[in-house]
Amino acid sequence: MILPPDFPQFPQAFCEEPLGVSIEVTETPSRADRFQALCELSQEMALVEDEWSIYRVVLEVARKVLDFFNCAILLVDEQTRELVIVDEHGYPAGTRGMRIALTGERGISRWVAVNGEALYVPDVRQDERYVSGVPQARSELAVPIKIRDRVLGVLNVESDKVDAFDQDEALLLQALASQLAVALELNRARAELDRLTITDPLTGVYNRRYLDRVLPTEQDRAERFDRPFALMMLDLDDFKTVNDRYGHRQGDQILVAFAQALQRNVRSIDAVVRYGGDEFLVVLLETDAEGAGKACERIRMRVVEALERSPAVPEDAKIGVSVGLAVRNPGENVDEKLAEADHRMYSEKRRTDESRDLKDLAQVR
């Protein structure tokens, strides 16, 4: 932690326990209140399951234990190498979402994120690294949000008073940042685990577990707003023949190409699900019978074209796509509609097979 020469040194116990678990409570009421707030934060963090709520809890606790003019949580965007203000208290409207390049030379928070160390500036007017955001700001304290040596972001506070923060407040802010880091890491781990449980590992689209979760939700929403949605079942024709001739590795590549083509050609609000084997389902939200029919033909045409161009499909392989469509209107049973789409898809598949057999027979004669 980079501090002014005359800033009181931290007790060794505090430096060794960044999570704040060893903070010593004295008879001073303000310290007792602060320690209690940290304990409550730990309990609340265990119950919070989304990042936005985590931000809100941390800012609320910060308001209880620290005297500041404004406070911000900034997280690192690894793709753009920028700090993003994800939440704040006290800053002007429009501050949330602002970005700070980590490649620059100025900015207190930028310095903390790059160096992974806390920084206290008693008078920001005297520090050339400071970038003015709020004219009233006089002192700033910023600490890294870290997991081991990995910096997730920065938690900072500003005051409209010169040299406003003391040793206890520096410790408390670091304790908040440490608990925030752990909460973010756990939340992201839970989110990744949840994503894996609802994602098909081969194709990357949703799996049946996701379908079991989303269909009841969409059915309830459709009932509430009196809106239909459509179920489009798709299956690759002659896929078993391709698998037998070219091998399962080649077949897997074709399935991936099929899934990617589907994803590219549906709306962002629609869901692509691997229903089983080479059978896929597209859930078309807010779509009536007319719209579903048009979408069905457009998607089928573009997917077939994509497969014909795909390097995953051997040149001499002829792969078609059979489709079955059903529209679920308010009041109708969604499981019955799934079965209807599946039945129609297999009916089309049989007609395609029969038509091909007749052509083969004609050629033999």
DSSP letters for 299-354: HHHHHHHHHHH-TTS-TT----EEEEEEEE-TTS-HHHHHHHHHHHHHHHHHHHHH
Of 138-147, 149-158, 237-246, which range is least confident?
A: 237-246
For domain 208-364, give the fold: Alpha-Beta Plaits (3.30.70)
pLDDT, tens digit, 9 for 90 and up, residues 343-360: 999 999 888 765 554 444
In sequence order, which residues have a C-beta less than 8 Å from that of residue 324 and are 6 or more positions away? 232, 233, 234, 340, 341, 342, 343, 344, 345, 346, 347, 348
Closest CA to 47 of 192, 186, 154: 186
State the angle between helix axes of 248-264 and 289-309 in degrees (0 to 180), rounded to the nearest 10. Answer: 130
Q: What percentage of the chain's residues is helix, strand, coil (to nearest 5)?
A: 50, 20, 30
Which has more pLDDT, 90 or 274?
Answer: 274
With CA atoms as reference, report the closest residue to 102 among 132, 81, 85.
81
Mean pLDDT of 132-139: 87
Per-residue pLDDT for 138 more than 50?
A: yes
Task: Give the pLDDT confidence score for residue 57 in this predicted structure.
Answer: 87
Tell which wins on pLDDT, 141 or 167: 141
Cβ atoms 114, 125 nearer than 8 A: no
Whether residue 29 has pLDDT greater than 90:
no
Average pLDDT, integer, range 214-223? 90
Q: Give the three-state DSSP class for 124.
A: helix
- Which whole-number Å values give the CA distances from 28 to 34, 185, 232, in the listed order? 10, 34, 67
Q: What is the band of 167 on the pLDDT scale with cuts at 50, 70, 90? A: confident
pLDDT attached to residue 309:
93
Q: Where in the chain is the domain with CATH 3.30.70.270?
A: 208-364
Rounded Cα gap, residues 60 and 66, in angstroms: 10
Q: Whole-angstrom Cα distance, residue 223 to residue 242?
A: 42
The Cα 160–Cα 137 span in angstroms is 5
Strand partners, 83: 76, 100
29-47 and 167-197 helices, crossing angle to 10°: 10
- CATH, domain 12-197, list 3.40.50.2300, 1.10.3480.10, 3.30.360.10, 3.30.450.40: 3.30.450.40
Which residue intervals of the chain bear CATH 3.30.450.40? 12-197
Task: Output the furthest CA–CA distance in the chain (Å, rounded).
Answer: 102
pTM of the model as a whole = 0.65
pLDDT category at 339 given cuts 50, 70, 90 is: very high
Give kind and range of the element (H or E) at residue 143.
strand 139-147
